[in-house]
Amino acid sequence: MLSWLRLARELAVPVIAGVMLLLGWMLSQGDENGVPWWAPALAYFLSYAVAGAEPARNGLRLALKGRFDIDFLMILAALGAAAIGEVVDGGLLLLLFSLGHALEHYAMGQARHAISALGAMAPRSVRVLRSGAEVEVPVELVKVDEHVVIRPGERVGVDGRVFAGRSAVDQSPITGESMPVEKDRGDEVFAGTLNGDGALEVTVLRVAADTTMARMIRLVEEAQSQKSRVQRAADRFTRIYVPIVLAMVAFVAIVPAWLGWFPPADGSSVWKASMLRAISLLVGASPCALAISTPAAVLAGVAKAARSGVLIKGGAHLESLAHIRAIALDKTGTITPGRPVVTEIVPLDGEDADRVLALAAALESQSSHPLSRAVMAAAEARDIDVPAVRDLVAVKGKGLVGQVDGAMVRVGALRLFRSTDETSVPRTALDAVERLEGQAQTVVLVAEDDRFVGVIALMDRPRAEAARAIARLQRMRIDPIVMLTGDNPMVANAIAREVGIHDVRASLMPEDKIAAVAELAKRFGAVAMIGDGVNDAPALATATVGIAMGGGGTDVALEAADVALIRDDLERVPFAIALGRAARRIVLQNVTISMGMVALLIPLAIIGWLPITLAVILHEGSTVAVVLNGLRLLAFRDPTDQHGVEVSAPTHSRAVADVVGATDAPGAS
């Protein structure tokens, strides 16, 4: 219904102008019946005024500054037709020109609406817990760290982290995921998403103006004002081309008639015939379609990207994505999510794996180290009762020691035990440590009194979709794909092998990453850098296109990047590149259509084979065609995605979430 109302509003001007033009023509046929001369003249004047008001205002404003645009050409053509008695043709020109603009504005508005409608999804107020009671508060007045209650079936009004409760949340408006995502304590939720059948209590992370949805809308609006290289070239061409068209029109209007060329077959005035040819040339040579060919595709492409979980900060960056030939990726926080997980438990001396984990979790429950959180998550996932600990002591850089059920329990790296008695570590434990460290895993030993009960291995596992994303990029003939990381070579190579990356550069400082990106750009041309941390920001800024992980990425990385992934999903990268390539193809198609039509109409107009009416129909038809062609990007689906563009990555329990490859033992500084 709203779509039809918008279309009706856009069509109001051409409809009114058309009615006035038809009325004027009918009244002009009634001279013999006593219709006064001023009646059709008034109707024609109203038709011209309604259809020509906006182009006249825009065209004259620029003409006074010495610049001539397409609106100026159309007004000039219409007035020229009226001056030689072709009032109906001039009115029809303005009518069809306004109709073309109305359809163009409506189509472009559809693309803008794809994003701006998101703003209406977020509720205007939320229930905030204040002094133990729920208070209805406008979202603009909600403060960071306040607690908001979200009932089943409600829209989420804030960006926040789940403090209590569990539910499935439909995130499709923000991240493009087709299936609801399970949310539990510690998971992040976004304003504008739809809560499922569970109640949630959410801690506010961002004020209303800084929510992910607000940033999406703001960036899409900014993208409309940022022009791509092709669009800037088209603008430069138009500034030169329009004066040339005016000179050609003046030549065609004067010289042929003066020299007696192209005499009219019906014996009518040679000057009138020349003026008709000149007006047809003015219409046919106007580059309306060229002017709109790139903005239509860029706006649709940026809108589609945002609805699919990718923020592109301008048309220039969408265009640059199409030219990417090499990609560099950070490891921690990008290929891996930056949170460790327990990957293996090796019981020793006949001990049970659950008891090994319970003893470790007892000590780790008092630590905030990333590995400690991973051990606790694993115990929680197995529903293990964690015993209490007393007299806990952290041995800096080595591990933890404490009393559990009257026994002394030690949890830590091998150096914790070797610092006291090297011979006390049994061969079975040393073999397990050697095997697991050979796989680039972090190893924690667990001992109860003088008995070693087990070994726990932890690792920052690759994201579930990382290998698929790398494979898709390789199918798109992007080569090389390089891992740039500050981690040690053994860990870096282990992760790289798992996801299918063959070029690894480890132990890098931030300046080394900049040099690596610059070297890739020199060798391969356009290069993309994908990262999430403060140390990645300089490399993101150096790359042709910097891509930041928007979910867990730092504000510095997001500011330095040209593209942000709202959800930390690496499969959005091949999608974004494929979208950029599709946008480039459509822009080239649009330029070909627009310039091809101009090349066809100019010679036909010069030799007098192009009536004004036909010139207007073909001219405006090509304009509408390029707009509709550009809007095809709103329905874009990446052909390289074997799972479908809107398919979400598998969700994991907190115990098997991927994590940073930390090599220090729990309790290390």
Q: Is 330 a catalytic residue?
A: yes
Alpha-carbon distance of 275 to 168, in angstroms, equals 69
- Residue 5 CB partners (closer than 8 Å, separation 6+): none
**Sequence-ordered strand ranges (E) for 396-544:** 399-404, 407-412, 442-448, 451-459, 481-484, 503-505, 527-531
Alpha-carbon distance of 624 to 292, in angstroms, equals 9
CB 190 within 8 A of CB 121: no
Q: DSSP 3-state assignment of 417? A: helix
Q: Helix, strand, coil: what percent of the chain each, to 5?
A: 55, 15, 30
Helical pair 212-225 and 288-307, crossing angle rounded to 10 deg = 160
**537 phi and psi angles, rounded to 5 deg:** -55, -45
Residue for token pair 């900014």? 222
According to DSSP, the residues that pair with 505 across neighbouring strands are 484
Alpha-carbon distance of 63 to 58, in angstroms, equals 9
Q: DSSP 3-state assignment of 45? A: helix
Alpha-carbon distance of 108 to 197, in angstroms, equals 37
Kind of pairing between the strands at 147-150 and 200-204: antiparallel
Options 69, 170, 330, 487, the catalytic residue: 330
CB 138 within 8 A of CB 127: no
CB 357 within 8 A of CB 378: yes
**Closest to 14 measured CA to CA, from 42, 53, 40:** 53
Alpha-carbon distance of 622 to 113, in angstroms, equals 24
Q: Which residues are catalytic?
A: 330
